[in-house]
Amino acid sequence: MGAYIAYLGAAIGVGIIILGAGIGIGLIGRGAVESIARQPEALDGIRTTMILAAALIEGLAFLGIITCLLIVLLK
């Protein structure tokens, strides 16, 4: 029974991680588009910052997924 709870916890954790990363990247994209619409001359700086922030969010998402995977494999 303990193994099933670990599997369920890992599955829920991965779902929450993916949902959070998707929402975060969506908010970053929305903010970048709004900023570019207000100040088109700042396109390069905004785009660079957006890509960097999205990459950091994806990195944390991958770390969480790997952690959940390790919980399942080591249980």
CATH number of the domain within which 66 lies: 1.20.20.10
Number of separate domains in the chain: 1
Domain assignment present for residue 16? The answer is yes
Can you give the residue range of the structural domain that contains 63? 2-70
The answer to whether 30 and 16 are in contact (CB under 8 A) is: no
What's the pTM value of the predicted model, to 2 decimals?
0.83
**DSSP secondary structure string, 20-71?**
HHHHHHHHHHHHHHHHHHH-GGGHHHHHHHHHHHHHHHHHHHHHHHHHHHHH
Q: What pLDDT is attached to residue 75?
A: 74
The answer to whether 11 and 73 are in contact (CB under 8 A) is: no
pLDDT of residue 72 exceeding 90, the answer is no
For residue 35, count other CB atoms closer than 10 A to its CB. 17
pLDDT of residue 1 exceeding 90, the answer is no
Q: Give the model confidence (pLDDT) of 2-60 as tens digits.
A: 788 888 988 999 999 999 999 999 999 999 999 999 999 999 999 999 999 999 999 99
Domain assignment present for residue 75? The answer is no
